[in-house]
Structure 1
């Protein structure tokens, strides 16, 4: 789309508002402040799109709602790693909402296109400012003076009222960020980034790049025998492997363990990673096979659907086998961040295989957007589910059933794990929570930079403080004692 000629005044004001919100709220950490900062930028993009004559479509709304929903993860969960993944997904899905896209080039490049709008957005805003301020100083200068006077009055009288009444001062400190001269440079940086982000989003909404128009040369169609022979051999190999797996899955573990000399947990650990790689490679093989598939006649298309459909079905058995092995592995050693992450990846790969099969039956026009949407929703569900809380819950349940627990690992979890760890008996409870209690000591972050998980953890620890004595030694854990004030 042709670059817009004039920036709407509402876009300039919302960009300024976005910069102020970023400067005030993003200095102290992340929480609901990320969502509050994104809202003015989304408003600026919406205004620019409406002025430009763009109408919201169903998929645009899906991408926009999903993007903003991803920012609920740092607002609700304290764990930094799922929050980081959710924020990365937010930028990709938000960029896709601004660009749109149906084909693979559109949905893949559209997720990155907003970054290319930063510099054009600055030029767009500067041109608009020059056009609006030239010869109009009598109109905007009094408004600027009025805003400056209002800010000064609020600061002066707010400070006086805070000094006159302790209750008002406490209320004000809980709402207004605590600003010092030392953090002024960082807040300036946050302000600039907030303004640039809003301008880039608005410019993209006003003049999106049509990545769907990028031409991708189709692969050269192969002959039936040349194309089908390697895939049929691969399918036979899958079938043989799955026959063994089905035997094991339905009760043949003891025989396999006796023949291999492996323990129950070793057998589960040995195969999961290989099966995960098999699933990844199978997705790549299917993509390449579709690129080089014979497609001249109805018979060719039937052959492609039959062979690839068989491979997809057999791959789903591989996915089930991998997840079963992970279940055994977790039962033997407990749930960890790595294990829950790769299990989530394996589940999504299984869903991807199902989507590919559905595309073979109903057509593939919807497949690119469905794949990206499934990934975005996966990040959202993964973050909102609270992985650290699930890990703690599983470890505590495992301890109740077997008496085994990895207290050293649990000490590194986030505040999301506190409600589950609070179920442990002493001294295991205090040993597992000592490091978290140390990290959560004091007043903590302001409300806008604090997650719901952190608030819940503080309530639990305030109701039942941890034992500050040498509980880890009594629990059998050495070298991890932190003295909690």
Structure 2
């Protein structure tokens, strides 16, 4: 072979390592440990499913343009009916967990109809979408549950192609002439109702009031058209997306997740044992503090009650979350070849979770101490709820570790999370914040109105019980966004209706002067 000749091509077949004279290992691929499952065969789209999707788009465009209230629940029910028809056409049966997730999703959709707190309403809506997706996909493993929750997101575009493909093969009963007759009849009926309805409204005031309450007038300005078009497309896509899932869901539970390679006992157990010793030392110190060392620490450092309570809370919360991450990672790579390996893993992880409950209790105690010193706010209530839920998750992990079968854990953790979100929304967090601050004012004759800033109309009944100046100033802070006239019934929550009645009976007149008299800057 000459010096300028090109090297010979490698022979076909597996490549050989020139140093070990063995077949070379294939190059690692990204996400090699995860292999997605194939979706089930989908049933074709039907006229009813597409018609209900169009109705959901119209309802969304018409009802959701003002605000959130009963309208979100109505749109959700229409979407649920369309998904149910698609599932029935595909021959799918209803399972118990499907009912559980669906009922919980509908319960979350009732929050906007009852209360006005923005954060609770947004959280409830997002959780309801995830639960509806899980109800249609199904799933009981971690991978199945976690991938099914956002499953609607990647079904929106394919659902349009699915609906278009399904409608191509359909034939209208009676042919084109029948369709034209139906369209003509609908147009004539709409014209007759418009003419005679207008005459009835102008002839009788009671009839006009009833019709205006039940069928509000749609007054479209040119600037409102993009908003209504966006809402129509959103409602249509969401409804088609859920129907597309119901017609043939991707079974995320069938996704293959290869187990992690078990590590040696020494490199795995020593770090966990050291972490357990650190957590144990923290638990002992906290016991000493609870038994009387808190006052000595405050006297030595010169910290106030609020400063001591606030110190370290966020760090303790981060420690709780990181502990759950450590438990998940350690469980994946723990040695499990022998019974002693499995017993050691359960012992170390169970001890770590148990000691982490002390961290949760310490964080809750600090936050409650802080609330007692400075009052309750939206953020403080939210972190209290999250910390309590993290404690529940730790208890579930401990129970799962003590039992042989832990297949129930993913759904139990998700159920606890969604139930916490539902309880948080339905307990009216803003009203609870206002109640606590009013009760604190009655016992201490002091109220920090900075805790009231940002509350919604849910807080009006509690703040209405304050003395005159504090009442006028506090109510002016929570009613700034209240419109002059009532919104349509479908966009009005029960909380807003109650607040309007209270303010109509006892209006707020001199709010700025009241804030000046109590020394609060309301700007």
Interval of TM-score (by shorter of Structure 1 and Structure 2): over 0.9
Q: Is residue 179 of structure 1 aligned with residue 221 of structure 2?
A: no
Q: Is residue 269 of structure 1 aligned with residue 269 of structure 2?
A: no
Determine the C-alpha separation between the residues in 2 that align with 1:145 and 1:406.
65
Choose from 371, 395, 401 the match for 2:437: 395
Deviation at 1:378, TM superposition (A): 1.0
Secondary structure in 2 matching 1:295: coil
Q: What does residue 483 of structure 1 align with?
A: none
Deviation at 1:185, TM superposition (A): 4.1
- Spell out, residue by residue over 1:152-206, the C-alpha distance to the aligned partner (whole angstroms, 9 max, x if none): 2222322222222222222222222331231344323322322222111111001
Q: What does residue 19 of structure 2 align with?
A: none
Deviation at 1:438, TM superposition (A): 4.5
Aligned length: 480
Q: What does residue 425 of structure 1 align with?
A: 467
Determine the C-alpha separation between the residues in 2 that align with 1:438 and 1:193.
30
Does the CA contact (< 8 Å) of 1:275 and 1:318 recur in 2?
Answer: yes
Determine the C-alpha separation between the residues in 1 that align with 2:228 and 2:193.
20
Q: Where do 4+ consecutive residues of structure 1 move more than 4 Å?
A: none
Choose from 59, 74, 79 the match for 1:21: 59
Does the CA contact (< 8 Å) of 1:239 and 1:314 recur in 2?
Answer: yes
Deviation at 1:336, TM superposition (A): 1.0
Q: What does residue 166 of structure 1 align with?
A: 205
Q: Is residue 98 of structure 1 aligned with residue 136 of structure 2?
A: yes
Deviation at 1:365, TM superposition (A): 0.6
Choose from 420, 423, 428 the match for 1:378: 420
Give 1:445-484 correspondences, 5 Å limit: 445-468=487-510, 470-480=513-523
Give 1:197-208 correspondences, 5 Å limit: 197-208=238-249
- Spell out, residue by residue over 1:227-257, the C-alpha distance to the aligned partner (whole angstroms, 9 max, x if none): 1111111111111111111122233321222
Choose from 188, 193, 216 the match for 1:154: 193
When residues 412 and 6 of structure 1 are mapped into structure 2, their CA distance, relative to the original with a 3 A threshold, is: closer
Gaps of 5+ in 2: 1-38
When residues 119 and 37 of structure 1 are mapped into structure 2, their CA distance, relative to the original with a 3 A threshold, is: same
Deviation at 1:5, TM superposition (A): 4.9
Does the CA contact (< 8 Å) of 1:437 and 1:466 recur in 2?
Answer: no
Choose from 361, 367, 377 the match for 1:326: 367
Deviation at 1:144, TM superposition (A): 2.4
Deviation at 1:293, TM superposition (A): 0.6
Does the CA contact (< 8 Å) of 1:411 and 1:434 recur in 2?
Answer: no
Determine the C-alpha separation between the residues in 2 that align with 1:359 and 1:474.
58
Does the CA contact (< 8 Å) of 2:452 and 2:478 recur in 1?
Answer: no
Q: Is residue 369 of structure 1 aligned with residue 425 of structure 2?
A: no
Does the CA contact (< 8 Å) of 2:456 and 2:479 recur in 1?
Answer: no
Determine the C-alpha separation between the residues in 2 that align with 1:253 and 1:101.
47
Gaps of 5+ in 1: 481-485
Determine the C-alpha separation between the residues in 2 that align with 1:150 and 1:23.
22
Determine the C-alpha separation between the residues in 1 that align with 2:446 and 2:431.
18
Does the CA contact (< 8 Å) of 1:78 and 1:451 recur in 2?
Answer: yes
More helix, by proportion: 1
Secondary structure in 2 matching 1:132: coil
Q: What does residue 181 of structure 2 align with?
A: 142
Secondary structure in 1 matching 2:334: coil
Choose 160-169 or 100-109, whichever is displaced more. Answer: 160-169
Does the CA contact (< 8 Å) of 1:11 and 1:202 recur in 2?
Answer: yes
Give 1:305-320 correspondences, 5 Å limit: 305-320=346-361
Q: What does residue 7 of structure 2 align with?
A: none
Deviation at 1:441, TM superposition (A): 4.7
Determine the C-alpha separation between the residues in 2 that align with 1:409 and 1:263.
19
Determine the C-alpha separation between the residues in 2 that align with 1:398 and 1:332.
10
When residues 479 and 452 of structure 1 are mapped into structure 2, their CA distance, relative to the original with a 3 A threshold, is: closer
Structure possessing the higher radius of gyration over alpha carbons: 2
Secondary structure in 2 matching 1:113: coil
Please report the TM-score for the alignment, with normalisation by the length of structure 1: 0.95
